[in-house]
Amino acid sequence: MADISFSHTTVLLNECIDGLNIRDGFTYIDCTAGGGGHSLEIAKKMGKNSRLICFDRDKNAIEAATERLKDYLPQITFINDNFSALGQVIKDLNITKLGGVLADLGCSSYQFDTPERGFSYMHDAELDMRMDTDSPLSAFNVVNEYSYEQLKKVIYEYGEEKFAPKIAKEICIRREISPIKTTFELNDIIKKSIPKAARIDGPHPSKRTFQAIRIEVNGELDAIKPLITSAADNLVSGGRIAIISFHSLEDRIVKQTFRSLSQGCTCPSDFPVCVCGKKPILKDITKKPILPGNDELENNPRSRSAKLRISEKN
């Protein structure tokens, strides 16, 4: 592997830390520790009677966060796992005073910028895209083993790519000759599948397809709703959930899940009294998502699609 230290520019840092309303005496969870940027600021602010749990699927991220948070290690527990395990970890660690949960969804800059990880269409590398390098499913498996219908569905739904049928067809034709092994091979197939006019006027022709395959490989969307539900179930009153999303599919799930957990009675309007007994679990702190400011956009162009939503336990 290339000698690249784990680095990731932390997005919406101040907005997240302010939004979590950190108080001493509670446990906080960073579900996507990355290089430890958000985690470090939580640790600085949470006080000596608090605890921090740091999740990440990437072993390199855990190593980097451990080094970055070395002054606070007695108060920190690292979990090398998907945040879909949040509920079980809270139970196993007997966490009873959960004050806040943060998740910065998507990939880290390190993962994109390390060619060997196979996340980027800008570097020629073996098709991989696994956040957890021990996972059995890689981009190579998706590209070479999924059926035409499966590929089309993944690229269309997760990439919102209107040329998904053509791209899936060309992938299937090409892999009949020999397996598609590298990012540049896949890149070339995608380019040939998209009309020249769309390639000129739109984003990089491979952006949506690579995003879609990455989401499929890592099951990124499947874990968001369980994460929010587990957090809401375990937060103390006044505890907060802060979620940063980077594309519309993620943000839609966050928004809809927050909305569902913020609803009270669901009885028909013509019922004279409530019989469902449903009470709102959360309340929105952000009516609209918080977006990066101009300074952040200038310093970190990758933050341009970031949206932060925050909700509080009733």
CATH number at residue 267: 3.40.50.150
| CA atoms of 103 and 148, how far apart (whole Å) | 33
- What pLDDT band is residue 114 in, cutting at 50, 70 and 90? confident
pLDDT at residue 18 in the model: 96
Tell me whether residue 118 is in a domain. Answer: no
Q: Is the pLDDT of residue 275 over 90?
A: no
Counted domains in the chain: 2
- pLDDT tens-digit series, residues 216-232: 999 999 999 999 999 99
| CA atoms of 234 and 99, how far apart (whole Å) | 9
- Residue 226 shares a structural domain with residue 292: yes
As a whole number, the mean pLDDT across the chain is 92
- Residue 254 shares a structural domain with residue 205: no
pLDDT at residue 8 in the model: 55
- What pLDDT band is residue 91 in, cutting at 50, 70 and 90? very high
Tell me whether residue 132 is in a domain. Answer: yes
Tell me whether residue 253 is in a domain. Answer: yes
**301 vs 256, residue with greater confidence:** 256
Tell me whether residue 6 is in a domain. Answer: no
- Residue 91 shares a structural domain with residue 174: no
- pLDDT tens-digit series, residues 135-145: 999 999 999 99
Tell me whether residue 290 is in a domain. Answer: yes
Task: Choose the weakest-confidence range: 36-50, 51-65, 197-211, 215-229.
Answer: 197-211
Tell me whether residue 91 is in a domain. Answer: yes
- Residue 202 shares a structural domain with residue 141: yes
Summarize the confidence of residues 132-159 as an average pLDDT: 96
Summarize the confidence of residues 241-265 as an average pLDDT: 94
- Residue 27 shares a structural domain with residue 101: yes
pLDDT at residue 207 in the model: 92
Q: Is the pLDDT of residue 12 over 80?
A: yes
* Domain stops at, among 218, 252, 275: 218
- The pTM for the full model equals 0.89
Q: Is the pLDDT of residue 9 over 70?
A: no
- Residue 52 shares a structural domain with residue 79: yes
- Residue 132 shares a structural domain with residue 210: yes
pLDDT at residue 178 in the model: 97
- Residue 94 shares a structural domain with residue 172: no
Could you list the residue range(s) of the whole structural domain that residue 151 is in?
124-218
Instruction: Identify the residue whose tokens are 């390199």.
Output: 60
pLDDT at residue 276 in the model: 82
Residues of the chain with pLDDT > 70, as a percent, come to: 96
CATH number at residue 133: 1.10.150.170
- Residue 177 shares a structural domain with residue 258: no
pLDDT at residue 172 in the model: 98
Tell me whether residue 90 is in a domain. Answer: yes
